[in-house]
Structure 1
Amino acid sequence: MTIETYLLAEVLAIAKKHPFYNPEIAYPADEETIQKLRELVIDQNVKSEFQEQPLLRKKTLYKAINRLTHDVDPRNTYRESSYMSITGGGSGGVPMMFAVDVHENRRQRLQMGKFLKLCGVIKRGDWVLSTHSAGGFYRSLDLTTEIMENAGATVLSAGGNMSPTDVAKSLADYHVNILTGDSSQVVQTVYHISLMAEEDRNRISLDKIIYTSEPLTGSQRAFIKSILGDVMIVSIMGSSEAGPWAISSPELTGEQSLTSNSTDFIIDMRNMLVEIVSPSAVDGVSLSDSIVLPEGEQGLIVQTSLQRLRNPLVRYITGDIGSIHPLPSAACAVIPEADWEHLRVLRMRGRDHRFSFKWCGCYFEFEGIDTVMRAEDCGILQWQLILDRLESTPQATLEIRLLRSSPRDGILSNDDLIKRLRDFFHLHLFPENEHQFRITFLNNLGGFERSATAGKVIKFVNRWN
């Protein structure tokens, strides 16, 4: 696979002259300055001092981007010829407008399409229907549509506003074999299919699901397979800051266990350099080689893009936990040998779960909550916690909103699930908090709080703070 990327030395040279990394620099370099810096790097063969580059924290990036987005000075190249992608707001935070050079963005879409084809995710004759969102500055629909087309697929751009009824009808009418969307949209579509008459359901023949955004839980995956049969479930990982950069496919890394709390992704180190660093890296410890962990060890995921130069992403702490592993034999059977040395497995464990919230005097860890919600016998397809205030009082309320799969053997009844959740949140110990706790069962995704940017279900809504 021929890849057009930047040299690491070029990326580092630009980073030294960029306000993301140097607070004394007011604006990103213009095109002429960038070209001169690149020529200097190539002509003098400047050796990159990668490990000496400080780690980039999200709050530092957000602060710089907020200033550059609103600065209308003609010298501010951040606002020029840029593909603007919005992110954030998924936990009630302020959205961030990350600017990418328009030509770099198009090249990255092309490269990701080639990567999907290389990994066997998209094959000749595939028809894809995308339910990704668009509008409100959110760009996931055009991004995924173009990536799939670059991989060789024929794509139907349904969008996030098409009703589940129309989506299901289109899947059947146009003989679509791949459904793609964010995880919430995929669950919603499959849930609608599960309610259809058998005759109508049998007209739909999907062999692959490609989801993005939040990971699918074990219960969600089991539900999808129970409705669609032996469908392959694939994931693409990306972000506004980094763009699309990793692929998870059972053909490459093996079928994911329904009880697993991790997902294996294939990454191409020619596009994205990934380091795993010790969690002490975000605790004020000075940077040194000792905090960069070897293959197999788990830590914070740090990424450096070799596809973005004008506004570089260098040693960026993603906030995710994971580990790096060699390419497995299953992947080698699919991917040409010439590419093996550049590819690795990134075992994604999810967000840094050192975060928790406090309710009624008790701290609740998000990792523990996620474990409860993922339990297969709970049959939970989607969940949401809302921390709020009891009218005008200083009392904090906690509401749990749930979408469950259809009743079947091995799945708890609503009453038994309520008891389990009440026990987890200590209602048996603190009955005086009864009026501050509520569990709401929903029939569709319409009752969940959604992010303003992507329309994603927000797992934790904090109205208290």
Structure 2
Amino acid sequence: MTTQSYSLAEVLAVAKTHPFYNPDIVYPADAETIQGLRKSAIDQKVKPELQDQPLLEKKTMYKAIERLTHDVDPQNTYRQSSYMSITGGGSGGVPMMFAVDVYENRRQRLQMGEFLKLCGVIKPGDWVLSTHLAGGFYRSLDLMTEIMENAGATVLSAGSYMPPTDVAKSLADYHVNVLTGDGSQVVQTVHHISIMAQEDRDRVHLDKIIYTSEPLTGSQRAFIESILGDVKIISVMGSAEAGPWAISTQDLIGEQSMTSNSTDFVIDTRNMLVEIVCPSVIDNVSPPDRILLPQGEEGLIVQTSLQRLRNPLVRYITGDIGSIHPLPKTACAVIPEADRGHLRVLRLRGRDHRFSFKWYGCYFEFDRIDAFMQAEECGILQWQLLLGQLESSPQATLEIRLLRSPPRYGILSDDALINRVQAFFLVFPENEHLFRIVFLDDIGGFERSATAGKVIKFVNRWK
């Protein structure tokens, strides 16, 4: 596998002159300055030390992004020739727009396609149908479509608004063997296949599922396999900040236990460097010599991209928990010997729940939820979130329980509040059956702790 990534020295040299890392810098460097920095970095004899660069917290980067996004000065290169990708928008307010150089973005899509091919995910003759989202500034559909095409697949771009009936019919009519989409979309499609007449189900022949955005639970994977039979379940991980960068496939990592609370991903260290740091670094209580954790030990995932230079991503605290492991011997049957030494396994346990939770492909941050619920016009006295599971299929549900003050001037009506809550939690026609708001008359309707009897703000029934 050939790569066209930047060297660590180049990335660190540009980072020192970027507003993400230096608050005294007003705008990112222009193309001419970047070329000079790259040349100086390459000419230097001293090998750069990644650990000399401070860790980058999400709130620090988002603050810089907000300023740069709205600064229309012609000298602001952040707004020039950029691929704009939303950072989620799952916590209300205006989503942050992460800018990537358009040429870096296209090159990363090509590299990810090559990585899929290297890992045996896509093979000649594969026909892929994608149900990813497009529109509303989200671009997961064109991103995944191009990656699959770069890997050598033929792709049908169905999108998220095609009804499950039409998706299932297209899978059969066009002899599609690979279905890709967000985790919830995949489950929704497979659930529809499960209720089709047997003769129609027999026309669907899927041998691979490639999901993104949110993890599939053990029960969801078991459900998919019970309907589709011998199907490979594969995951591609990415973010607006880092782009696509990791793959989970059983051909490389072997069978995982259905009761496991983690997922193994394969990463290429030629494109992404990953460090595992002590979680207490967020609270500034870790001694400097104890921040980095050894291989196999679990902590916060910190990433440095070697694919993004104009707006670098260096030692970025993702908010996820995981650990690094060597590539298992099972991968030797798939990965050429020349590439094996560059690949590692990232065991991802999930989001650090001190910060957020995930529903229908979006992260929702607790501090922003709390601020939303405390808005005076909402008149909310007490609130509770319950993450559960739909009885008829293994899909995640979200229930909001609210206790409101009596109606008075300046307080939103119930209907107006419902609209505001639905907008905050990104409720659309395709997921509204998984969302519910319950107005309570007293505190007795909330779930409370067994010890102090306190209202539990977040109840996780999701297994």
- Please indicate the TM-score interval, normalised by the length of the shorter structure: 0.7 to 0.9
Contact 2:130 2:181 in 1 (8 A): yes
Deviations 1:141-199 (A, max 9, x none): 00000000000000001111111111001000000000000011101111111111000
What amino acid sits opposite 1:87 in the alignment? Answer: T
Secondary structure of 1:115's partner? helix
Is the alpha carbon distance of 1:55 and 1:189 closer, same or farther for their aligned partners in structure 2, counting shifts above 3 Å?
Answer: same
User: What's the CA shift for 1:77?
Assistant: 0.2
* Paired position in structure 1 for 2:296: 296
Structure 2 CA distance for aligned equivalents of residues 381 and 403 of structure 1: 10
Contact 1:219 1:381 in 2 (8 A): no
Offset, 1:41: 1.0
Q: Is the 8 A contact 1:382 1:402 kept in 2?
A: no
Which SS does the other structure have where 2:48 is aligned? coil
Q: Is the 8 A contact 2:303 2:317 kept in 1?
A: yes
CA-atom RMSD in angstroms: 3.4
Structure 1 residues 348-357 or 166-175, which shifts more? 348-357
Q: After alignment, is 378-387 or 338-347 more displaced? A: 378-387
Deviation at 1:329, TM superposition (A): 1.0
**After superposition, what is the alpha-carbon deviation per residue over 1:22-64, rounded to whole angstroms, capped at 9, x for unaligned?**
0000000000000001111112234313111110000001100
CA contact (8 A) 2:381 2:404 kept: no
1:385 to 396, 399, 403: 399
Matched, 1:425 2:439: no
User: What is the aligned partner in structure 1 of residue 13 from structure 2?
Assistant: 13
**In 1, Cα distance between the equivalents of 2:84 and 2:49?**
30
Query: What's the counterpart of residue 354 of structure 2?
Result: 354
CA distance in 2, matches of 1:379, 1:158: 22
- Alignment correspondent of 1:95: 95
Matched, 1:235 2:235: yes
Contact persistence 2:262–2:347 (CA under 8 A): yes
C-alpha separation in 1, matches of 2:263 and 2:26? 40
* Residues 309-340 of structure 1: per-residue CA shift (max 9 Å, x gap): 00000000000000000100111221011111
Whole-Å separation in 2 of the counterparts to 1:78 and 1:227: 47
Q: Which residue of 1 aligns with 2:136?
A: 136
Deviation per CA, 1:2-39: give whole Å up to 9, x if none: 11110101100000000000000000000000000111
- Residue 378 and residue 176 in structure 1: after superposition, are their counterparts in 2 closer, same or farther (change >3 A)? closer
After superposing the two structures, state which structure 1 stretch, 208-217 or 348-357, moved more: 348-357
Q: Is the 8 A contact 1:108 1:307 kept in 2?
A: yes
Query: Does the CA contact (< 8 Å) of 2:234 and 2:247 recur in 1?
Result: yes
Secondary structure of the structure 2 residue equivalent to 1:193:
helix
Give the aligned residue type for 1:425: E
User: Which residues of structure 1 form unaligned runs of 5+?
Assistant: 405-421, 439-458, 460-465
Shift in Å, 1:426: 4.5
Amino acid at match of 2:6: Y
Q: Is the 8 A contact 1:296 1:325 kept in 2?
A: yes
Q: 1:232 to 1:430 in 2, by over 3 A?
A: same
Tell me, in whole angstroms, the C-alpha distance in 1 between the residues paired with 2:267 and 2:91: 27
**Counterpart mapping for 1:22-33 below 5 A:** 22-33=22-33
Q: Contact 2:382 / 2:403 at 8 angstroms: preserved in 1?
A: no
Letter in 2 for 1:90: G
For structure 2, list consecutive stretches of 5 or more residues without a partner in the other structure: 357-365, 374-379, 412-416, 423-430, 435-443
Q: Is the 8 A contact 1:87 1:96 kept in 2?
A: yes
Structure 2 residue aligned with 1:414: none
Cα distance, 1:89 vs structure 2: 1.8
TM-score, structure 1 normalization:
0.81
Question: Is residue 2:67 matched to residue 1:70?
Answer: no
Once residues 403 and 450 of structure 2 are traced to their aligned partners in structure 1, the CA distance between those partners, rounded to angstroms, is 21
8 Å Cα contact 2:209/2:232 also seen in 1: yes
Are the structure 2 counterparts of residues 423 and 328 from structure 1 closer, same or farther at C-alpha, using a change threshold of 3 Å? farther
- In the TM superposition, residue 361 of structure 1 has moved relative to its aligned partner by 11
Question: Are 1:61 and 2:61 matched, yes or no?
Answer: yes
Secondary structure of 1:120 counterpart: coil
Instruction: Compute the displacement of 1:304 (Å).
Output: 0.1
Q: Tell me, in whole angstroms, the C-alpha distance in 1 between the residues paired with 2:77 and 2:62.
A: 17
**TM-fit CA distance, 1:363:** 11
Q: Is the 8 A contact 2:383 2:400 kept in 1?
A: no
Cα offsets for 1:245-303 (capped at 9, x unmatched): 00000111122322111000000011000000001211124773421101000000000
TM-score by length of 2: 0.82
